[in-house]
Amino acid sequence: MTIERLLVANRGEIALRVIRACQGLGISTVLAVSEADLGSLPARIADETVCIGPARSSDSYLSVAALVTAATGMKVDALHPGYGFLSESPALAEACADAGILFVGPTAAQMRLMGNKLEARRSARQAGVPMLAGSERVVDATHAAELAADVGYPVMMKAAAGGGGRGMKIVADPAALPTAFEAASAEAMAAFGDSTLYLERYLPNARHVEVQVLGDHFGTVVHVGERDCSLQRRHQKLVEEAPAPGLPEALRAEVRDAAVALAGAIGYRGAGTVEFLVDPEGGVSSFLEMNTRIQVEHGVTEVVSGIDLVEAQLRIAAGEKLWFSQDDVTLRGHAIECRVNAEAAEAGFRPNAGRITRFDPPQGPFVRVDTHCFSGYDVPIHYDSLLAKLIVYGSTRAEALRRMQHALDHFVIEGVSSNVSFQRYAVSSAEFDEARMTTQLVDEELLPAYAAGF
């Protein structure tokens, strides 16, 4: 291992996760923290900390200058961006390169290519990845109407510069297209500083399936199976599992092969995820996007594969060859993850902050809890609401589901509201039990039924 000293440029549970991986490899860690996180658990565990600014993200975790200044000042060899914040920022990768610091992730060019959804679609098409009918850049509402007539309704208006549901509108009626175009364009500009849109045929009743890939500096690309991430609220994932249940084997092989083909075509290096919309009944898959970072839900893949994905990131960044081939990747059993967030269900799942007066996560031989929280922890108002990731394993999906339900029953959080009770409701639904999830299930069925109880 050529990395001796690394800056962790993130916070919360992913910062702690990276620190733990570094400890296993004998890498000294420096944690970049805002003023709000000086007393956090990651700050206690890291070898050293460096304050990069006030609580506001734009002045700390989202500041390329602050992070690179901290990295050079602390004389680190490398920087790990975690997920979120600047994890997919070509500017940060380039600034690290200019400063002689190793960026743990793909190249700036690869991030820029996959970060622009239009360019990503072109690359996927060239690599032979299955895709839904769609368009290039939409110029205006009139142009959108012409393109939609060719693509066929329903269509989805999407932002070229980002994702996460922002700048995204589903249009089933041609009369609604002008209003949807203006709304999506304005939303995209506000979220990404770029109003560019494109159209794609909307696939109703779809599932969200993503494939984990790893690529090294020597041209080797492998997949580490796929995950189902269909249970989402407003396009934000809530529950993930590996492998994806109920997929026809031909469709499973198709998305795995397509992910490797795309990553190989761009010479990808590091950990990444190629995402698809899938209709298991129709046997259809379609490229959605590629995330050029470690994912929140990487833990379920680690549990069923036995591969430490953060360690793999570090080894690849250090210039090592992948130490296993595709034939060596074997998935055993089933894993399910629930994201536990500080949200008030009775107030429309509004994020909330405050002091956690009691934090007792479940324990057991098949239970993993990735968290930075503890009794007495003050949940800040400045960042996302993720408190913990509850991951369970079973030899079968049914066994994993029973263990998840039991674990949620014994997850105690007091002082702040959480979504634990809703997660218990969601994973106990007939649709989840029978693997009949879709990306619309939570918003259209589970949430209204759950909210009726308040």
Domains of the chain: 5-104 (3.40.50.20), 133-201 (3.30.1490.20), 207-451 (3.30.470.20)
Q: Are 222 and 260 in contact (CB under 8 A)?
A: yes
Report the first-to-last Cα separation within the chain, whole angstroms.
Answer: 54
pTM above 0.85, yes or no: yes
Q: For residue 207, give every residue at least 6 positions away whose Cβ sits within 8 Å of its Cβ, in sequence order, or none.
A: 228, 230, 244, 277, 278, 279, 280, 437, 438, 439
Using pLDDT thresholds of 50, 70 and 90, give the confidence band for residue 452.
confident
pLDDT in tens, 274-321: 999 999 888 889 999 999 999 999 999 999 999 999 999 999 999 999
Active-site positions read 293
How far apart (Å, rounded) are the C-alpha atoms in residues 183 and 167? 8
The residues near 367 (Cβ < 8 Å, ≥ 6 apart) are 390, 391, 392, 403, 407
In 216-283, beta strands by DSSP E: 221-233, 236-242, 270-279
Predicted confidence (pLDDT) per residue in 163-188, tens digit: 777 889 999 999 999 999 999 999 99
Looking at every residue in the chain, the average pLDDT score rounds to: 95
Q: At what angle do helices 420-427 and 397-409 cross, to 10 degrees?
A: 150
Residue 345 contacts residue 417 (beta carbons within 8 Å): yes
Do residues 380 and 61 touch, judged by C-beta distance below 8 A? no
Count of CB atoms within 10 A of residue 69's CB?
15
Give pLDDT tens digits for 238-264: 999 999 999 999 999 999 999 999 999
In the predicted model, is pLDDT for residue 162 greater than 80?
A: no
> Any bridge partners for residue 134, and if so which?
200
| Residue linked to tokens 């460096």 | 50
Question: Facing residues of 51 across strands?
Answer: 33
What is the arithmetic mean of pLDDT over 203-220? 95
Residue 175 φ/ψ, nearest 5 degrees: -65, -25
